[in-house]
Amino acid sequence: MEDFDTRLGQFFADLGRRVRIARERRGLTQVEAASAAELTPNVWSKLENGRFVNPGLRTLARVAWSWDGSVADLLSEGPRPVDTPRLRHRAQLAALVRRADDDQLQLIVALARAVVTQDAGAASEREA
Show the domains of the chain with their CATH numbers. Answer: 4-127 (1.10.260.40)
b/e per residue 63-97 (b: at least 16 CB within 10 A): bbbbbebeeeebeeeeeeeeeeeebeebbbebbee
Task: Label residue 121 by pLDDT band (50, 70, 90).
Answer: low
Distance (Å, rounded) from C-alpha 124 to C-alpha 94? Answer: 29
For the segment 61-95, what is each residue's pLDDT rounded down to a tens digit? 999 888 777 888 888 765 455 567 777 787 778 77
pTM of whole model > 0.85? no
Task: Label residue 125 by pLDDT band (50, 70, 90).
Answer: low
